Amino acid sequence: MNPNNLKYSKNHEWIGLEVNKEKTYIGITHFAQKELGDIIYLDIDETVVGTKIQEGKVFGTIEAVKTVSDLFMPVSGKILEINKVLFSKPEHINKNPYEKGWILQIKILDTKEYDRLMSFEEYKKYIGK
């Protein structure tokens, strides 16, 4: 995934939209993983698969050496899949947050929420880059 083609939340999650505008992937941004430092643990309850979570709600936590941070849904969606590889190899988020480091695959429930998210250029301004 190309970071230029993704959308971004104020909570530093990225989201990409596939051609059919239904299924998409969610992860944390390069900026977020850099700020967190070495990621050592991802905590997402596997029972969330198949459930609907509203925009802005917490879906899990991510733990780095120095801190724990909540993970927020950038849009309302039905959870289709968790990247279970991250449970044993959370370092994928540090090494490649936009490819191997994706966290969830979801079905978007409201594309208007997606449309309101920041573009790459807007996100860069938001983080002061």
| pLDDT single digits (tens) 59-97 | 999 999 989 999 999 999 999 999 999 999 999 999 999
| pLDDT single digits (tens) 16-48 | 877 566 789 999 999 999 999 999 999 999 999
Q: Residue 97: which CATH number?
A: 2.40.50.100
Number of compact structural domains in the chain: 1
Contact residues for 96 (Cβ-Cβ < 8 A; gap 6+): none
Strands (E), the chain: 7-8, 13-17, 23-28, 39-43, 52-53, 58-64, 68-72, 77-82, 104-108
Q: What is the domain extent for residue 112?
A: 3-126
Q: Is the pTM of this model over 0.85?
A: yes
